[in-house]
Structure formats: C-alpha cells, structure tokens
Structure 1
Amino acid sequence: MAWLFLFVAGLLEIGWAVGLKYTEGFSKLVPSVLTLLSMGGSMALLGLALRDLPLGTAYAVWTGIGTVGTAMFGIMVLGEPAGVLRLVCITMITCGILGLKLAH
C-alpha cells in the first residue's frame, strides 16, 4: 500500500507543479485552490508512504515522478522543447526511479 500512496503522491506533485503555472502568482482562485489541495494531498500521501518506506527512497521516487511528469507535461501540452538530450535525461531519471523501487 505504501508504494500506491507514494505513486499517487507523485501524481499529485505533478498536479501542483503544473498548477503553479496556472495560478498566475496565486491571483486566480480556482487554479490556486486546486494547486493547494494537490500540495496538501501530495504531502499527506508522502507522509503515509514514509511509515513503511525508507526516507531516501520515498523522497527520491516522489520527486522523480514529479520531475518526469512535469517535464513530460511541458513537452506534450506546453510545447516545450523535446530534444534528444532532454529525453535521454528524462529516461535516466525514470531508470533511477525504477532502480530505487527494485532495490527496495
């Protein structure tokens, strides 16, 4: 169950990272509320996952999911560059996340 909590926490991290772009400095109510709810949910689920997972592993996986997901959102939705080096780096982060999961 801890890994499921961690995975959903990572998805919510993507949500709040992306949400920050749409809050316009927390001047828009709905995006701001959704972003804050995503932040709270992400932290709460990370906290639940930490009951059973090592801190270093959980934190690295959580931030990795957020990093990869946010970068992919930027590429696919916002039209950010998808150069070969950038995609290789995203792939390496993903491999690191999988490696941490397998090493646990």
Structure 2
Amino acid sequence: MIQIQELDPDRLDMAANMLKAIAHPMRIAILKHLEGGKKLTVTQIHELLGIEQSTTSHHLGILKDKGVLCSRREGKNTFYYLKHDVLSQMVDCLERCTCGE
C-alpha cells in the first residue's frame, strides 16, 4: 500500500492534468478508438467520430500535451497512439462504472 509521504506532488500534478485532459466525451472516444495499440491519423479519427478535422486536431493536441498520447510522423501522415497501454483499462473502467448497474 502506498503511504501518503511516498506520494510525489509532481507526479500527482501530472496525473491530475492527464485526468483533466481525458475528461471530455470526445477525448474519451478518441482513447477508445486507440485501444489495443492502434495508431490512427487525424483524418481517420475525425471520420470515426464524425467531427471536424480542426476539432479533432484540437483534442489530440490537448491529449498529447498532457502526456496521454504520443505521435509519430510517417511521410505525410502523423499517427497518434496511447502513450501508456494501461490507459485503455481506465476507459474500460469508466464504461463499467457508467453502465447503470
């Protein structure tokens, strides 16, 4: 069990910022589409979500800035993916917690 004195304030701040970044319906949907090690471009994500490409880019920028996503450029395309695969477990947990049981 983690003791209170073991909690690093900088790590707690980073975790809180990641949670704030995720706390938006479209961003949760983005994470869901990136589960299982998927790597998708802005275009692919905006088509999956049915929102404007500029809006998709905005959400991806926030998620990347807060350490939730990474990106890799391949030719003309930039692929986005989860920085930590374990984040998909958090999305699964949210789905289970909101299913109304």
Q: Which has the higher helix share?
A: 1
Shorter chain as normaliser: what TM range?
Answer: 0.3 to 0.5
Q: Which has the higher strand share?
A: 2
Structure 1 length as normaliser, TM-score?
0.35
